[in-house]
Chain A
Amino acid sequence: MPLLRLGTRFIARQVSPTRFFGPSVSIVTLIAVFIMVATGRLNLASLDLDTLANQLGSPQDPTTLVAPVRLDRAAPRASDRIRVATYNIKAFGEKKTNDANVMQAVASIVANFDLIAIQEVRSAQSMPVARLIELINRSGLRYDAALSEPIGRSSQKEQYAFIWDTTRITMLPDSSYVVRDDADRMHREPMVASFECRVVAAQGRAPFRFTIINAHTDPDEVTSAGTLNEMNVLDDVFIRVREYEYSAKGEDDVLMVGDLNVSVPNLGELGKIPGMYSIAGSLPTNTLGTKTYDHILLDRNTTAEYTGAFGVIDYDKDFGLTPEQASLISDHRPVWGEFSVFEIPAFANVAQQNQPIR
């Protein structure tokens, strides 16, 4: 495992992605990966909050600018765009995988996206994600996944996962890791990984390459003031990850996604990073349609690849599920956004257009 020094004070050890080549291989691989990732983290212990606190901006609510797009499941996937999503599959453990209806619904949802960040995988063996990939791929699709080790302070730990369509996206080798947090500033340290669209470079147009941070905050740790609020730690994570990716790979496109347990006005210092933008804004993301918990955040100054199209999955309208059926899957709705498959220079930003894209 290579040790990477970030600046002079931050160290991360990279983690190989966990791939699913088949159930038996998956189990062996997962066990091996869990052993390997024991210390693979970006160090939050020495982050300089005071400096970062000066970088204040104003988070904007994009719902005043654009409208969400209904997911057209029947339409063929656009060759020049990808859909990236985040989804908290509540307590996604082995029991849930034994429910064929739930698994079919989850597979059906996940297969709509080119890359999806999952929170709340609950199984030391990672079997839920392995089974999900197997189910999706049974229909001829070619999805793959990477998982973190179980994370959490209490006895109940959970994993993050990235799931992606390998025909459209590739994970960059050795690019996934869990943020290291020696000072224990977060209940569940985020997982990071880098991806690139699989397209043939055309006339100087390079494939869109980006880093994605998958986070799940503790609802009891997003309300206090100061550094004890995880929203005031995630800004440091975003900035440090971007600094590292830029210095190591020249990459400045970073997405922060996940179940943050806060609405846009409560994004804290994360929301004050200049240019920071929650693509679904204050749209409700719980199944009751009453609260905003989940976000896809990006810096509009750098990630011009965002097309401005986004949505929050409505189980009823998009998948024909009753509230009772939906509640068996999760109390969260997936949030998604659309991106160009090609790199677009910063500041050529199409995300600011004020009309929905269909």
Chain B
Amino acid sequence: MSSADSSLTILKSELTHTDPVHRQAALRTIAQGGKRQYGLTALVIALANDPDEETREWACEALESAILPSPNEVNDILKLLRDTRDGEIEYWSATMLGRLGVAASCATAALASCLLDSPCLAARERAAWALSEIGPAARSAINALRQISHDDPPRLQRLAASAIQSVVGRAA
């Protein structure tokens, strides 16, 4: 086992530890280590609604600046997005899928559902952004994007319009 694999195994173990102090320490290592971390995306997203507040904070910190999802994590992230009604989990799942771009095209339907149905505005906005990042491969979400109307918040309207342009424009 390489040192990178070993480090990943240790981090995974710490992130799933029952003691929040261990989870916090692992997340702090990821967030402040200055390196892009791969292979931990779904685990860290799940900690964004951890019962422990400090763990949640560090999870969000790591997700914002240090977690870079890899294409082989798409299904795990997609499962999180499908299975949750928690706005924070939806928000970060959509964000990570957006970072993957076209590699997350299989998540188009789930993102469209999040865009229309999530009670969390920030999650809906990130879903629109993610569809834009996926581009023409998210063509099946066009009807959902067009359902964003003038009654919706201005930023969501702008993001949906941008996504439509990305999905249709680039395809044309």
Contact = CB atoms under 8 A, between A and B. Distances in A.
Interface of A: 45, 90-91, 93, 95, 122, 153-156, 183-185, 218-220, 224, 226-228, 286-288, 290, 327-331
Nearest to B49: A155
Interface in B151-172: 153-155, 158-159, 162
Contacts of B88: 154-155
B14 interface: no
B95 interface: yes
Interface of B: 24, 28-29, 31-35, 54, 56-58, 60-61, 64-66, 87-88, 91, 95, 98-99, 121-122, 125-126, 129, 132, 153-155, 158-159, 162
Contacts of A154: 60, 88, 91, 122
Contact of B31 (A90, A218, A227): A90
Contacts of B129: 220, 224, 228
A154 B59 CA distance: 13
A263 B132 CA distance: 23
A13 B70 CA distance: 44
Contact of B32 (A93, A219, A330): A330
A156 B60 contact: yes
B167 to A, nearest CB: 14
Contact of A184 (B32, B126, B153): B153
Contacts of B95: 220
B155 A224 contact: no
Nearest to B132: A224
Contacts of B33: 327, 331
A153 B24 CA distance: 23
Nearest to A228: B162
Contacts of A329: 32
21 contacts: A90-B31, A93-B57, A154-B91, A154-B122, A155-B87, A156-B60, A183-B154, A219-B64, A220-B64, A220-B95, A220-B99, A224-B129, A224-B132, A286-B34, A288-B35, A290-B34, A327-B32, A327-B33, A330-B32, A331-B31, A331-B65
A331 B60 contact: no
A328 B58 CA distance: 13
A219 B88 CA distance: 17
Contacts, number: 72
A184 B152 CA distance: 13
Contacts of B99: 220
Nearest to B95: A220
A218 B64 contact: yes
B64 A90 contact: no
A90 B34 CA distance: 11
B61 A327 contact: no
Given A90-B61, A184-B153, A228 B34 contact: no
B57 A288 contact: no
Contacts of A226: 162
Given A95-B54, A220-B129, A328-B32, A228 B61 contact: no
B54 A153 contact: no
Contacts of A155: 56, 60, 87-88
Given A95-B54, A220-B129, A331-B66, 19 more contacts: A90-B31, A91-B61, A93-B54, A93-B57, A154-B88, A154-B122, A183-B155, A184-B153, A184-B154, A220-B126, A228-B129, A228-B159, A228-B162, A288-B35, A290-B34, A328-B32, A330-B32, A331-B34, A331-B65
A156 B57 CA distance: 7
